[in-house]
Structure 1
């Protein structure tokens, strides 16, 4: 009968383990292996790389690594063949205690691309622990004759650290006519009892010495023994009796010392001293019970003595005996089962594993930044933990497996906006009140070259005087790049192009690659180049490199470096001869005109004519701005047969430059010729210009044309001209006068020849274009026209 009951119990336990294992296998969804406990180092566990679908040759290059939460490195992977093997001894009892399922969870991580696998290794129990009794000898006192057959006496059973069939114990007792041992199941526990088969006779056998053997269900089976000494007592025939054999109590963990658990009450039908009862724990009580509880000998009150911790012990089984004071004393027994109720007294535990030192700012959403594992020693709702991070961060927590979470990138990040993130991960349980724990993760953002160098303005305007020395510093440009290190190291260069008649830009200017300083390669000549527009490129050292451009407009300012050049209008019309001025000429009669030009611009090219020796001019004068030579009065014979005039032509530059022209005049009855002798800065003589016979016709023509020019000029002043862009080949200059300075202007020079002896003044015309409103985006310009009437 006992064997059948034992087989039925084994069958039920095996069925429960199979069902639990099947449910676990279906729900886990991961690679799972099993290995017996106490396996030696190097024991084969499984072909991990093959089962995960990984190439063995890529394990090192993909940074294959394995993480075991809160465990020693029980297992290791051979990176040469991808085999998972036992690294150190595993004791299932030390690792999982009496838990029916013992497994070690592993995280396998590979990079390029990043993947995370979950591996579970089940530790199989082996029968490596024999049944153990808490004492070597148990003593019982049983009264003779008064104890009826069938009476039951509780014994301290053995314990086995194994699980499953390896921990299923059966008991046998050495040969005896009076006693047998049985196991009885009450509530949640099993008890070993000694059953009396036949009444005792103290006179026949005063003491029984029996050997109780505990046998486990392992293969091979292991055994443990205890010596049972039964003393047969005489007389006192009523033992104390408790009102119930088993008491079930619920007690909150962390109950303070002195807390009353239960007050027991036993009664004895005897009288007198045989009725007086004292309470105590049985001698074979485990030390854990004696450490946490105490019993009042006279009252039967059981009170808390130590620290009751649900995480350490969830159920206490206390054997209590009530002994009367008869001679011999009789004993009554009861069992107190104390269920410890969990209190939320353990905060969650956080473990953070960072996968990399930094996150590139171009990392795509979904990039795994760190692994977070949480645990809570409490149970039920007190042990359910949720993880969270602050809102408004470009990260999120993704649950991966059981209590494992991955911190992943939720959206794109920009290092130039936020260079690093300090993320507070908070784990909170569902107890009342709830407890929490937190851990900070510092995530630096690594820079990528995503910003091109930028100049503070799109166009730079530079003014440079002509005749500058070669290598002179003209201007500096500077671009900024918000990236870091080489991504922000900026070098400068000129965007090469041709200037003028296929002259390379590099023959005019150069740019220092590091400082951005712009230097002149050669002196500028305003008469050849008035404006130079070019682009400077700023390029960073990133990969790939990025660049930005800026336009530089370099305006060459005119200097008075060209003296006036005198060109007699009559050269090339035959041989020059002495000029005969008719004696009949009256005051204001024009005898000739000096024409001079200046290669400069503005006031530097505005010419002034005067007689070098006014006292020697006689009856002649020269127009200050026209250069016309005319009489100041009627000529007389006393003026002499000839006159020699030295005309000084001077510009308005600073300092002023000049040239001279010598004119020889002969006074005769009829006009012949005028000889012009020109010197520039004391230079050589030029030919004289003959007076045209049709002088009067030319004067009339010039007068009419002059009136027409005045009308056109007035019309241009009333109607603004078109906008002129600054481009190579169009002379953009800066004009200045004695009454102020003007902005950029377009110079147009026209020589209108209206006669050789017309008495008219030069006309200097400047036509400014005033800037329009800022809404139409036009630039400010000023046009000027210099018209010389000769």
Structure 2
């Protein structure tokens, strides 16, 4: 709406009657209003009529309008005396956010000179929406913040004034956030983002919200900003392995720095809270740290010591994954390393019977002994005396046969270990029994047949006696004694150490009393040895 104001004609006439020099100044003032953004030619007011000027005198009296610093925003039609909009008027450009905004005009008429002041108020229209200082704003909030925590936000601004600049705010619905608007004045409000419930970065890392500001104009205009709520991580999650127990097999002949296993733990936190290093647990034994090592950053376990299946068949290693957060969080797993046995020990061949009677007509392939082979094959050797029996009769010949665990088809010849029966007797003897064994060995050697090692008949007599009367035996047999040298012996005598040959009764009694504890054991050993040699076909 355009309005005009004019002082009364009496005042105007009084001013017009005042002359100073050759010109006259009119002190009347007109007031008009026009909306901003009005189109070219928009009517403002009948300025000539309102100033009391005749249309016919406007041109002869050189009627003109001057506007300091405003250019040609407004103009007067000299034909009809109407003030109109000549070019676009932007109130915000002219006056910014000032509540009052107007255009001051000076109307000058000469012959006689008159000056009139005209004020044109530029009225605001809602031509500017609310504007936020950013189109998108990131707000970082730690996941450890408690509910009802508050985070101030910068509000929007509206270049308009009055009701056109009164803003209201709204936030998109959210389970985690709400908006609190605190009014300080009509156009000055504090915008606060309020946390409604605890955040969990591992559940939702970012929350996207839309904050909208609406002005009070008709029609209303809006502006909005996207709020990106970034949840900052707190080290509230420990590293986790894919398995609680890992089981691997490792050959006992594995060389140093062999890779055993590579572990991989994950942490759902981020940043330093997600960076992981690997360590053996403090609970592992020193033996494990001597045999194995773990790479700090990769989690790879490698062998650094020697394995021996015969010593330890498996290792249980406790491993920790530690993040770099504050405080540090730890995850655990167990690595079970099973050591695979390799054939790195030669077989131990033992034969309980030193004489195996085999019929001379035994078919080829007759089993004499069972031996187990390893992989790769290794070798050990034992010597077994095989006696050939004809129709159940006495021995006619004797020979030696070697039973061995072969060293493979392409293996080298293994050294033979000749296990002599006399050595077995010597090994089995201890303390005083060693003396008895040596005596028996000497007696056997002395009973050898003639040179050449032949077995010959004879009539040896074997007399065994005990000082405590536990047993006594004297036998006459035709033995077949095989010996390395010398003629066959006809008499073979064995004495208990507790009853030495010869000597008087007193000496024997004294000797018997001093060895009463030992004589019983010696007697038993003599009986066992006698039966042993009997089974070996020494006595026949």
- Partner Cα separation in structure 2 for residue 548 and residue 655 of structure 1: 51
Q: Are 2:267 and 1:481 aligned?
A: yes
Report Cα offsets for 1:581-606 as digits up to 9, x if no partner.
699x9979xxx99798x8xxx96699
Q: Which residue of 2 aligns with 1:302?
A: 83
Secondary structure, counterpart of 2:298 in structure 1 = coil
What per-residue deviation string (whole Å, max 9, x for no partner) do you get for residues 499-535 of structure 1?
7xxx743344332333323233432222232222222
Conserved in 1, the CA contact under 8 Å of 2:350 and 2:382? no
| Among 238, 246, 251, the residue aligned to 1:452 | 238
Native 8 Å contact 1:382 1:429 kept in 2: yes
3-state secondary structure, aligned to 2:133: strand
SS of 2:289's equivalent? helix
2:396 alignment partner, one of 623, 640, 643: 640
Q: Name 2:124's counterpart in structure 1.
A: 342
Q: How does 1:591-740 map to 2 (within 5 A)?
A: 619=388, 634-635=391-392, 640-649=396-405
Q: Distance in 2 between matches of 1:345 and 1:289?
A: 21
Which position in structure 2 is the counterpart of 1:539? Answer: 322
Mapped to 2, the partners of 1:377 and 1:433 lie a distance apart of: 15
1:419-438 aligned within 5 A: 426-437=212-223
In the alignment, the residues of structure 2 paired with residue 337 and residue 359 of structure 1 have an alpha-carbon distance, to the nearest angstrom, of: 54
Separation in structure 2 between the aligned mates of residue 508 and residue 434 of structure 1, nearest angstrom: 79
1:362 maps onto 2:118 in alignment? no
- Correspondence 1:530 to 2:335: no
In the alignment, the residues of structure 2 paired with residue 689 and residue 660 of structure 1 have an alpha-carbon distance, to the nearest angstrom, of 27
Q: Output the CA distance in 2 between the equivalents of 1:209 and 1:688.
A: 168
Give the C-alpha shift of residue 556 in structure 1: 0.7
Query: What residue in structure 2 maps to residue 163 of structure 1?
Result: none
Matched, 1:383 2:137: no
Aligned to 2:336: 553
Aligned twin of 1:466:
252
For residue 494 of structure 1, the aligned residue among 273, 280, 291 is: 280
Pairing of 1:71-470 with structure 2 (within 5 A) = 152-154=10-12, 251-262=34-45, 278=57, 287=68, 291-311=72-92, 312=95, 341-351=123-133, 358-365=140-147, 371-387=153-169, 397-401=179-183, 402-407=188-193, 426-437=212-223, 446-470=232-256
Query: Secondary structure of the residue that 1:532 maps to in structure 2?
Result: strand
Alpha-carbon distance change, 393 to 431 in structure 1, aligned in 2, over 3 angstroms? farther
Superimposed CA distance per residue, residues 214-257 of structure 1 (whole angstroms, 9 cap, x where no aligned partner): xxxxxxxxxxxxxx9699xxxxxxxxxxxxx9999774321112
Q: In structure 2, what is the Cα distance between the partners aligned to 1:611 and 1:388?
A: 99
Change (3 A) 1:428 1:524: same
Larger RCO, structures 1/2 (Cα 8 Å, 6+ apart): 2
Q: 1:372: how far off?
A: 1.0
Q: 1:287 to 1:610 in 2, by over 3 A?
A: closer
Residue 516 of structure 1 pairs with residue 296 of structure 2 = no
Native 8 Å contact 2:73 2:88 kept in 1: yes
Distance in 1, matches of 2:254 and 2:234, equals: 43
Q: Relative to structure 1, is the Cα distance of residues 516 and 318 closer, same or farther in structure 2, using a 3 angstrom cutoff?
A: closer
User: Compared with structure 1, are the counterparts of its residues 672 and 521 closer, same or farther at alpha carbon in structure 2 (3 Å cutoff)?
Assistant: farther
SS of 1:645's equivalent in the other structure is strand
Unaligned ranges ≥5, structure 1: 1-139, 141-149, 156-178, 180-193, 197-205, 211-227, 232-244, 268-273, 571-577, 620-630, 676-686, 696-790
How far residue 346 of structure 1 moved from its aligned partner, in angstroms, is 1.9
CA 581–465 in structure 1, closer or farther in 2 if over 3 Å, else same:
closer
1:306-331 alpha-carbon deviations (Å, 9 max, x no partner):
444455455679899999xxxx99x9
Alpha-carbon distance, 1:560 to partner: 1.2
Structure 1 residues 282, 674: closer, same or farther in 2, change over 3 A? farther
CA distance, structure 2, for counterparts of residue 394 and residue 300 of structure 1: 65
Distance change >3 Å, CA 535–CA 692, structure 1 → 2? farther
Output the TM-score relative to the length of structure 2: 0.55
What is the CA deviation profile of residues 188-219 of structure 1, one whole-angstrom value per residue up to 9, with x for unaligned ones? Answer: xxxxxx7x9xxxxxxxxx96779xxxxxxxxx
Which residue of 316, 321, 346 corresponds with 1:563? 346
Return the alpha-carbon distance in structure 2 between the equivalents of residues 674 and 398 of structure 1. 119
CA RMSD of aligned residues (A): 6.2
| TM-score, normalising length: structure 1 | 0.40
SS at match of 1:303: strand
Deviation at 1:483, TM superposition (A): 4.3
Shift of 1:455: 2.4
Between Structure 1 and Structure 2, how many residues are aligned?
412
**Richer in strand (by share):** 1
Cα distance, 1:644–1:407 mapped onto 2, change above 3 Å: same
**Structure-2 change in CA distance of 1:496 and 1:263 (3 Å):** closer
Does the aligned pair in 2 maintain the 1:612–1:646 contact within 8 Å?
yes
Q: Distance in 2 between matches of 1:276 and 1:607?
A: 136
Structure 2 residues not aligned, in runs of 5+: 1-6, 422-454, 458-475, 483-527, 536-540
Q: CA deviation at 1:690?
A: 5.4
Quick one: distance in 2 between partners of 1:289 and 1:609?
121
Q: Is the 8 A contact 2:106 2:117 kept in 1?
A: yes
Partners of 1:363 and 1:450 in 2: CA distance:
13
Larger radius of gyration: 2
